[in-house]
Amino acid sequence: MDQIKLESKPVLKLVSWLIKKWIKKKYGYDVSFQINDLSAKNVNGAPSIHIDTDIRMSKTDFDKLVSKAEEES
C-alpha cells in the first residue's frame, strides 16, 4: 500500500486559495474554502483520496448551487 499525507499548513493554505479562486472564476461563487487534511493511498491498484474541508458561502450562493444541482439531476 502506497500512501501520501499532506500535512504542511502553508501548502494546504495555498491549495485552498487556488481552489477558492478557481470556484470564483468558473462558477461565480464567493466561498471560504479551507482544506484541513489531504491524503491519498493506493491499495492493490485502487486509488483513494480523502479531503477534509470547511466551505462557507452566502445563503444566496448556496441556494443557487442547490437549484443548479436539482436542474442537472
What is the pTM (predicted TM-score) of this model?
0.75
If one counts the domains in the chain, the total is: 1
**2/38 Cα distance (integer angstroms):** 14
Written as nine digits, the cell of 29 is 461563487
Q: So what's the pLDDT on residue 3? A: 86
Band (50; pLDDT cuts 50, 70, 90): very high
The residue range of the domain holding 10 is: 2-72
What is the C-alpha to C-alpha distance for residues 35 and 51, in angstroms, rounded to an integer? 7
Average pLDDT over residues 20-39: 92
Do the beta carbons of residue 8 and residue 38 sit within 8 Å?
no
- What CA–CA distance (Å, rounded) separates 13 from 32? 11
Per residue, what are the HEC states of 28-55?
CCCEEEEEEEEEEEEECCEEEEEEEEEE
